Structure 1
């Protein structure tokens, strides 16, 4: 059976992506994201078969979307076992973003997917790190006042993620507005 690895995200406007690219230096061993991989993940779906894929698309078509604006404010990192695993730009919290996230979650459940158990931390991943990556403290301090936007959000996209030895390659499948 043909499996697809999926996620739902908000694309970034080109000027915002370009400004993030300008921050991508200063942490040795970091795997910086490409411009094509910058997005705000709303829901990771994971591997699905063709039937589940069709159910997800149908459910997402029913999501009522109202345009809103968002912006990036500040930076942070995720860690496990006291070791940074990723650095990111923080997406400003808004009721509209929370409502969209909730609507997408409910659509995914209607499509038969299990509930998302991770807390939603809206962000744009800037770099992935491994055990040989340098500490991130100086980068976080240098870019702590990051402020980009606002920009209009007019829809969301369904992406496929293909894993390669050089990292994931993301391909937009369809857009919803």
Structure 2
């Protein structure tokens, strides 16, 4: 059975930040034995997940996102906290997040609205910007939430970077890394 390609818009991370996060994750793996760790080249902040997409709708979304982002400026972000999604003792997603930044919410709203106008049905949960690091905690070992603060490499040394592009990615589940850049939407330098 052939799997349909999935697409999503995301804020990309600079290469040097991805490498710093990769190093941090190598140190975290001992205390956080998740089954699947995300390849460092796949780190991103999702803005709108489209799922499988007919070519015409995808083209409309690309055009509307490009129009919406015209004139938007790059902005600083910092990665500072670890967290999980899912049940407290058996989380499904391990993530790092960013310090709250209004300009990130503005960019997300532009992209999200453009995708809705293009006809996509999108996730309705509130936006929680994060970078997925790993998935699927082993059921045989209860998760210790206290480790999130004790082992956080970003707490005393947040990673600072400039958010300067939105990317349309296509997912290839049979490849590593699995996200391919299909279109890039640069944000203007401040």
21-30 or 94-103, which deviates more: 21-30
5+ residue gaps, structure 1: none
Query: Which residue in the other structure is 2:19 paired with?
Result: 18
- The answer to whether the Cα contact below 8 Å between 2:35 and 2:138 also exists between their aligned partners in 1 is no
44-53 or 21-30, which deviates more: 21-30
**Does 1:160 pair with 2:167?**
no
Q: TM-score, normalising length from structure 1?
A: 0.87
d(CA) in 2 for partners of 1:168 and 1:14? Answer: 14
Specify whether residues 147 and 39 from structure 1 end up closer, same or farther in structure 2 by C-alpha distance, changes over 3 A only. Answer: farther
CA RMSD of aligned residues (A): 2.4
Relative to its length, the structure with more strand (as a share) is 1
5+ residue gaps, structure 2: none
d(CA) in 2 for partners of 1:29 and 1:149? Answer: 23
Number of residue pairs matched by the alignment? 175
Specify whether residues 68 and 133 from structure 1 end up closer, same or farther in structure 2 by C-alpha distance, changes over 3 A only. Answer: farther
User: Deviations along 1:19-45, whole A, 9 cap, x unmatched?
Assistant: 211232122243111111111111111
d(CA) in 2 for partners of 1:106 and 1:90? Answer: 23
d(CA) in 2 for partners of 1:116 and 1:73? Answer: 25
Query: Which residue in the other structure is 1:38 paired with?
Result: 43
State the SS of the aligned residue for 2:111. helix
Q: CA deviation at 1:63?
A: 1.5
Specify whether residues 115 and 129 from structure 1 end up closer, same or farther in structure 2 by C-alpha distance, changes over 3 A only. Answer: closer
Query: Which residue in the other structure is 2:184 paired with?
Result: 175
- The answer to whether the Cα contact below 8 Å between 2:50 and 2:122 also exists between their aligned partners in 1 is no
State the SS of the aligned residue for 1:104. helix
Query: Which residue in the other structure is 1:127 paired with?
Result: 134
Q: CA deviation at 1:146?
A: 5.9
**Does 1:48 pair with 2:48?**
no
d(CA) in 2 for partners of 1:90 and 1:79? Answer: 16
d(CA) in 2 for partners of 1:152 and 1:131? Answer: 35
Among candidates 64, 74, 95, match of residue 88 of structure 1: 95
Specify whether residues 70 and 167 from structure 1 end up closer, same or farther in structure 2 by C-alpha distance, changes over 3 A only. Answer: same
Q: TM-score, normalising length from structure 2?
A: 0.81
d(CA) in 2 for partners of 1:148 and 1:13? Answer: 15
